[in-house]
Amino acid sequence: MMRAFRHGIGALVACGLLAACSQPNLDELETYVARVKERPPGPLEPIPEPPQPYRFIYEPDNRRDPFVMDDRTAQATMPRQGTGIAPDPLRRREALENYSLDSLRMVGTLEQNDTRWGLVMSPDGILHKVGVGDHMGKNYGEIRSISAEGIALKEIVGVGPGGWRERDASLSLRQ
């Protein structure tokens, strides 16, 4: 019986709340909107004039023609003939090429199926497994050999504008 009484009271409260949420009188709002719509529109501001572009007239007065290439300019734009040594710009850089060679540390080797791998620790504490042919260091260093004592690399370093040369580098095992 008490349960039915509670349900009855709950139903009455719900009905009261629904009656309170009924649609309000909108007459006042509708008259305000009608008054605003009856107002005459105000004048529009005129469109501003676009700025005039700056005009430049080229008068050569013994200057070189910028559209004609002379011998000196043509020679400067020619590619330089080098030794043929250059880094491959299309090769995807490897993780250890983000660090200079002196910041890397060889911590050991690993042998598997007659293949020797080097274990190199990067400055951020990540251990990397490297093999012959992998790259490391900022100077495009390619691993040539891995021994128990260290890793031998061949780096490509820049010499002057457009010039490159190879040099040997190594990473020794630190105890």
Q: Does domain 96-172 have CATH number 3.30.450.40?
A: no
**Where do the structural domains in the chain lie, given as residue ranges?**
96-172
Task: Give residue 25's pLDDT band: very low, low, confident or very high (50, 70, 90).
Answer: confident
pLDDT, one tens digit per residue, over 69-127 is 777 766 666 555 556 788 888 889 999 999 999 999 999 999 988 899 999 999 999 99
Per-residue pLDDT tens digits for 36-75: 999 988 888 899 999 999 988 878 788 877 777 777 766 6
Yes or no: say if 167 and 157 are a contact pair by the CB < 8 Å rule. yes
149-175 core/surface letters (b: 16 or more CB in 10 A; e: else): ebbbbebbbeeeeeebeeeebebebee
